[in-house]
Structure 1
C-alpha cells in the first residue's frame, strides 16, 4: 500500500466525534415515530430544527469542523446497510447471538430481547445515496451566504470563526460492521467471499465520489470492529471456535482500504475506533498494542480517532507505531458521564502521549509528536437516539473545554 501524506489536517485541535444527544422536542417526537404515531415528514421538521441548533452549538463552542450530530439516525449505522440493494435487515432474538461478541454481550445484559442482523440476499449495489441529502442540508447551514444565528444558550459566536463548507464532516459506519452483524449468530460470516467486500467497497466509493462532487472534504468511518481485536473475551471466543483473529483483522483492513482507494488528494479520511457507546456503557476494552502496528501502518486513512477516556483503553505506548505522516485524535474527554475534566488533566495526558511517541526509532522530537496529535471526546454523545446520561449543557461544556484545552496546549 502506498503511504499518503495528510492533505487536510483537522482545522482545530479540538475534534468532536460527530453524534449529539437529541433535544427534548426531537426526542419526544422520535418516541412518537417509533410508536408509529407520527410520520417521517413530521419527524424531519424537528430534525431540521435540531440540526440548526446543534450547528450553532458547535460554532458557539469554537469547533470549526461541523457535523449534523447524526440527529436523523436511529443508530450510528443507519443509512448505509438499510439502503443497499442485496442486503436485508431482520430482527433476531438474542439467544441466537454469540455472547463473546462484545456488543451482543452488552445487549443481553441490558435486557434486550432482539436486535437487527443483516443478510446478503443478492448482488450488493448502491442504488441510492446514503448521506448526500444530509450533507446538502448541512451545507445550506454553513455556507458563507447562510444566515447566522448568533445566540445559543446565552452565549455568542466568536466573530473570528468564518465557517466554510469544506469543514463539514460526514460520519459513516465501517463496512466491517455489516460483517459483524451478518448471519444467524450476529457475527462474522466466514462463508462470505472476498467479492462481498469488493461490492461493499464499490458502493462506498460511489457514495464518497458523489459527496466529494458536492463539496465534502472530510469523512470519518466509525468502526467498533477494530477494538474487538483488543478485547481478550472476543479473542479467546474466536480462537475457541477455530477462527484466526489476525486473518479476520486483515480482512477488515482490506475492506476499509477498498473504500478509501483512489480518493482525491484533498479528501481527509479518518477512522474512529469505537469501544461502545450504548447509553453510557462500553462493550470492548484492552490495549491498542494488539493492533497498533498493523492498523497504523496498513490502514489507508489520514487520521485515527482513538478512545482514551479510562484505564480500560490501555496506555499510550502503542502510539510509538504511528507513522509520521498521520494524525492521532485522542479521545480523552468522556461522553459517558457529565463530570467535567480539567485543562490540567488533559494537558498531562497529552504530555504522556508525547512521551510515548518519542520512544521509538523514528527520531520524533516532542514538537513533532505534539503536532501529530489532536484531542476530542472519546466518542459521540449519542451513538443511538436515546443518548448517554448527560444533558445538553454537559455536552456544550465538554466541547467548550476541548477548545480551551486545545488553545492552551497548542496555542492556536
Structure 2
C-alpha cells in the first residue's frame, strides 16, 4: 500500500511532548526573575531542536515543536486573540479521573472584552522557528479549535448582544489566522477540540444542561458550523485535521464515552482533511461510529496511549486497525498516540525515553500494517 506523502501520515502524532528537565528549570528561573525572556527563549529553542531530532529519529513524517513555548495546549493561543482575556478562576473545580484516583482542575473563564479579532498571527514565530529546524519532517502546527473560544465564553463585559455575531467574529478571526499561517508556509494544521468528545459523555451532557452553559443536544452542530466557516477559504494544499480529546491532564481524563452521540453530525459534517480520534481504551467505545466518516477524509486511529508507559503489543494494534477497516477503507486509516504527551506543562506520567518508545512503536506498527 502506498506511503502517504500528504498529511496526515500513516504514522503520526497529536503534538505535545514532554518538556525536558532543563526547560522546566528555565521556566522556573524565569518566573523567579533569575533569567531574562531572551534566556528563556534560547532554552526553548534548544529544547525544540532536540524534540524535532527525537521525532525525526523515530521515523515520523511530521514534527511539532512539542508545544514547548506554552503553559497549556489552548490558553496561550486563546488569550492572544484580540478581544479575549483570561478571566477569573472558576469557583468550582472540575473532577479529572485516572485509573489510580482522581484529581481536580480549576479553569479560568474566557472573558470577551471587545470585538474578537486577529491583532497579529498567533504562534507565527513558533511556526517560523519550527520550519527552520526540521530537516526531513513536515512542520506541523497545533492550535485549539474555535470551539474552545466560543464555548462558555463570558460575554457580560463584551460588545456582543447576539451569540451568532460573536461566533461569526470568532470564525472570521480563525480564518484570518489560517490565512496568515499559510502565508508563512504552514501546510499541516491541527485543530484540537475537547468539546466534541465531552458531548458523548451522558454525565457531562447532564451537568452542562443543569448549568445552562450550553445546549448539550445541539452544541456539536454549532461547533461544526463554526469550524466549517473558518475553513471555507482554506487553500487546497493545506491539510487541516481535527483532534477530538476526552481530556489529557497529568495522565488523567475529563470524560468517557464512544462517539455515537456526535458521529453523524460531526464525522459526516466537518469539512476537514482528517480526524484524529482517541481509541486507546474502553472509554472510547466501538469503531461503529466510523461508518459516518466521509469518503474524502482520513482517520488517524489513536490506539497507542500517551497516558502510561506500557507499550501496546503490535499484534493488538494490527487487529484493531483491521476492526476499524470494517467501517473505513484501510487506505484511509493511519495510526498515532491517542493524545499528546503533555497537554499542560506538567506532562503525563512517562519519561522522555518512554515517550520515544511510544512514537517508535507507532512508526514500526504502521510500517508493518501499510508497508
Normalization by structure 2: what TM-score? Answer: 0.91
* C-alpha deviation, 1:348, in angstroms: 0.9
Q: 1:376 aligns with which of 323, 336, 339?
A: 336
Aligned residue for 1:399?
Answer: 359
- 2:194–2:246 Cα contact (<8 Å) kept: yes
Matches within 5 A, 1:270-349: 270-349=241-320
* C-alpha deviation, 1:131, in angstroms: 1.2
Matched, 1:236 2:229: no
Matched, 1:221 2:191: yes
Secondary structure, aligned partner of 1:123:
strand
Aligned residue for 2:29?
Answer: 32
Aligned residue for 2:235?
Answer: 264
* C-alpha deviation, 1:181, in angstroms: 4.9
* C-alpha deviation, 1:142, in angstroms: 2.2
* C-alpha deviation, 1:356, in angstroms: 3.9
Q: Distance in 1 between matches of 2:217 and 2:35?
A: 47
Deviation string, structure 1 residues 209-232 (Cα, Å, up to 9, x no partner)? 121112111100000011111011
- 1:11–1:64 Cα contact (<8 Å) kept: no
Secondary structure, aligned partner of 1:371:
helix
Q: Distance in 2 between matches of 1:355 and 1:65?
A: 27
Q: Distance in 2 between matches of 1:269 and 1:27?
A: 31
Gaps of 5+ in 1: 1-6, 98-103, 144-162, 358-368
Aligned residue for 2:121?
Answer: 129
Aligned residue for 2:65?
Answer: 68
- 2:17–2:341 Cα contact (<8 Å) kept: yes
Q: Distance in 2 between matches of 1:216 and 1:382?
A: 23
Aligned residue for 1:245?
Answer: 216
Deviation string, structure 1 residues 81-137 (Cα, Å, up to 9, x no partner)? 211221121232433x6xxxxxx2329x6355x432111111111112101111111
Which region of structure 1 is more displaced relative to structure 2, 19-28 or 174-183?
Answer: 174-183
Secondary structure, aligned partner of 2:325:
helix
Q: Distance in 2 between matches of 1:225 and 1:300?
A: 17
* C-alpha deviation, 1:41, in angstroms: 1.9
Secondary structure, aligned partner of 1:284:
coil
Q: Distance in 2 between matches of 1:215 and 1:20?
A: 23
- 1:8–1:268 Cα contact (<8 Å) kept: no
- 2:240–2:272 Cα contact (<8 Å) kept: yes
- 1:29–1:46 Cα contact (<8 Å) kept: yes
* C-alpha deviation, 1:298, in angstroms: 1.1
Q: 1:390 aligns with which of 345, 350, 355?
A: 350
Aligned residue for 2:43?
Answer: 46
Q: Distance in 1 between matches of 2:44 and 2:318?
A: 36
Q: Distance in 2 between matches of 1:273 and 1:237?
A: 20
Q: 1:94 aligns with which of 48, 70, 91?
A: 91
Q: Distance in 2 between matches of 1:12 and 1:253?
A: 24
* C-alpha deviation, 1:244, in angstroms: 3.3
Which region of structure 1 is more displaced relative to structure 2, 332-341 or 10-19?
Answer: 10-19
Q: Distance in 2 between matches of 1:40 and 1:177?
A: 28
Assess, with a 3 A threshold, how the Cα gap between structure 1 residues 310 and 35 changes in structure 2: closer, same or farther.
Answer: farther
Secondary structure, aligned partner of 1:374:
strand
Q: Distance in 2 between matches of 1:191 and 1:285?
A: 34
* C-alpha deviation, 1:254, in angstroms: 1.3
Secondary structure, aligned partner of 2:95:
helix
Q: 1:206 aligns with which of 166, 169, 176?
A: 176
The count of aligned residue pairs is 360
Q: Distance in 2 between matches of 1:211 and 1:222?
A: 16
Gaps of 5+ in 2: none
Aligned residue for 1:101?
Answer: none
Q: Distance in 2 between matches of 1:16 and 1:111?
A: 27
Normalization by structure 1: what TM-score? Answer: 0.83
Secondary structure, aligned partner of 1:237:
helix
Matched, 1:173 2:133: no
Q: Distance in 2 between matches of 1:349 and 1:260?
A: 31
Deviation string, structure 1 residues 158-216 (Cα, Å, up to 9, x no partner)? xxxxx26xx2111000111123352399xxxx975111121111111112112111211
Deviation string, structure 1 residues 24-48 (Cα, Å, up to 9, x no partner)? 1001222233445433222111100
- 2:209–2:216 Cα contact (<8 Å) kept: yes
